[in-house]
Structure 1
Amino acid sequence: DSLGIGEEAALVDAETGEIMGIIEISEKYKIDRDFENSHVYRTTDPKHPGVAKVNEQAAVNIAGRVRALSEGVYPEKYKDLYLRPAESRAVFAEKGWSKVAAFQTRNPMHRSHEHLAKIAVEVTDGVFIHQVLGKLKEGDIPAEVRTEAIGAMIDNYFVKGTVIQAGYPIEMRYAGPREALIHALIRQNFGCSHLIVGRDHAGVGDYYGPFDAQHIFDELWPGALITQPLKIDITFFCTKCYGMATAKTCPHGKEHQINISGTKQREMLSKGEPIPPEFSRPEVVEILRKYYASLNK
């Protein structure tokens, strides 16, 4: 609270101590935590990870123009993944892509994710798999392992040249529908025309409905975002269709549906249980099994 309007302050990485940037303070205000939590996260429950982050903050926020001095470890640590917006736009232009669908993920891609991406490939020029390189939840799979697993899926199950894998440094806040909007805005900067929005995008627990993150885009005014949602229904493996489907394409009952969950898959992997082929590709499972085996050594 000692900083004043018009002053400059260093923005420091709390873990490394590196100065990441300089902020010129143009505004300062005390946090109304309940107001922020209820509007951003639609809950004040302290068990929500995003609410917990807000509640841990100091009493005063500052705002202003930021001058970046460093991108941290990301450009060096993730050389093959780290693309800046100008670089992704240049790649799209080189490929002749004008309609690009971004796919946000913090997980290795299972069969439902693959199906979402393939639907997008059908209606756009290509898919930009843009994964989280920032902090993850406990139990999440590290970016290096995730990248290898996603690469195996792309190499074996997608037509060459239809998918680009990249990453960016963001920490998930699990704000559900409100986070879907910021994900779309970020991908707009990267040059994407669409954001794939499936079931419970950026959700956690039971705080949001399965399609809240799709409905929020309908509340925006015309021109609010250039990047539009590519809304796709719940995906599953149907034993009667004998393939991946959505609630809009499969007429069969729930007794024929195998619902695929990243959380369930992680549980099975951690216990050494077999992963059904309806859940994930064998090449992906092999990579993930090696990772989980290394945790037990």
Structure 2
Amino acid sequence: MVPSAGFDELKAWASRLPSLQLSERAVCDLELLATGAFSPLDRFMGREDHQRVLDEMRLASGHVFPIPITLPVDPGPAIRVGQAVALRNAKNELLAVLTIEEIYSWDRDEVAQKVFGTLDLRHPLVAEMHRWGSLNISGCLQVLQLPAHYDFQDLRLTPAQTRDRLDEFDNQNVVAFQTRNPLHRAHEELTKRAAQDVNGVLLLHPVVGMTKPGDVDHYTRVRTYKVLARRYYDPGRILLALLPLAMRLAGPREALWHALIRRNYGANYLIVGRDHASPGVDSSGKPFYGPYDAQKL
């Protein structure tokens, strides 16, 4: 994030720069890069990071990171090394300035096969990638503001804020639970037992960014989580916070990614569910991933 001392000057400069309108997915990624949720990653991936993530699930530094976080664009006069571009959302609001340091092409089929294990267009992300630009860009990010959210603001905690809130529980163990669905009775039981087994606190951490097409909207889901947390859990054992993540539905790789993200939010355990982060079945009616592939990874 840009410090307040240089904010006005950078904003004025950014108003004269070429602009890139970010997709909803890229806006989610930018927010989590800016807040440290993707730490140690602090920018959209360059070529070396991208290739090693595809091949080894690691950044060039050697840190484990299983999902490529990229900013795909179409070729254009502003897409050149050394050019600074203003990053804006769909409402044309200025979010950040990116100074381009790398431009590289990428292979859709390679990404689809290595990250998602399929080329089947029934997979939402495989289909979506066909609409992405043919080039990825990377470089230093100067974030002027986070995307504005007007709902559930008291629950939209950054990683630092979440860690501070968890410190108030004075408990060294934190079990995170990832969900994109309303909780049912079995979820309640398994989350309570998981926290009890490690004598820890439950971080109930639902995704409120991009989930699977057809999922229950987050406005409805969050209201149910609030009631459950207030009426059915020990208030000394639970923290409800929201995660503005754009899911990739990458099954086993995504489960590991979820664990790394929750570590940055202060958790040292993650509950990995059956068929974790799955998009469902492929064009032939078979599941994209086995029910316990995530646990095996």
TM-score (ref. length: structure 1): 0.68
Cα deviations by residue, 1:135-177 (Å, 9 ceiling, x for unpaired):
3444322222212212222233222321111102112221111
**Number of the residue aligned with 1:207:** 288
5+ residue gaps, structure 2? 1-74, 281-286
Partner of residue 115, structure 2: 40
Contact 2:169 2:201 in 1 (8 A): no
* Residue 93 of structure 2 is aligned to residue 12 of structure 1: no
Once the two structures are TM-superposed, the CA of residue 200 in structure 1 deviates from its matched residue by 0.9
Q: Which residue pairs with 1:99 in the alignment?
A: 173
AA aligned opposite 1:207: F
Partner SS for 2:203:
strand
Give the aligned partner of residue 117 of structure 1.
191
Residue 214 of structure 2 aligns to a residue in which SS?
A: coil
Task: Name the CA distance, whole Å, in 1 between partners of 2:227 and 2:135.
Answer: 46
**Pairwise CA distance, 1:73:** 2.0
Equivalent residue number for residue 258 of structure 2: 183
Unpaired segments ≥5 residues, structure 1: 217-297
After TM superposition, the structure 1 = structure 2 runs for residues 1-297 of structure 1, keeping only pairs within 5 Å, are: 1=75, 2=77, 3-13=79-89, 15-74=90-149, 76-124=150-198, 125-205=200-280, 206-216=287-297
Structure-1 separation of matches of 2:170 and 2:85: 43
Shift of 1:7: 2.0
Q: CA deviation at 1:12?
A: 2.0
**Mapped partners of 1:45, 1:12: distance in 2:** 32
C-alpha separation in 2, matches of 1:140 and 1:34: 27
**Cross-structure match for 2:54:** none
Deviations 1:180-233 (A, max 9, x none): 1221111111111111101011112110011111122xxxxxxxxxxxxxxxxx
Please give the alpha-carbon distance, in whole angstroms, between the structure 2 residues aligned to 1:24 and 1:215.
40
Structure with higher RCO (Cα < 8 A, 6+ apart): 2
Aligned length: 214
Which piece of structure 1 moves more, 202-211 or 59-68?
A: 59-68
Tell me how large the CA RMSD over aligned residues is: 1.6
Structure 2: distance between partners of 1:36 and 1:139: 24
Counterpart-to-counterpart distance in 1, 2:254 and 2:144: 26
Deviates more, 1:122-131 or 1:4-13: 4-13
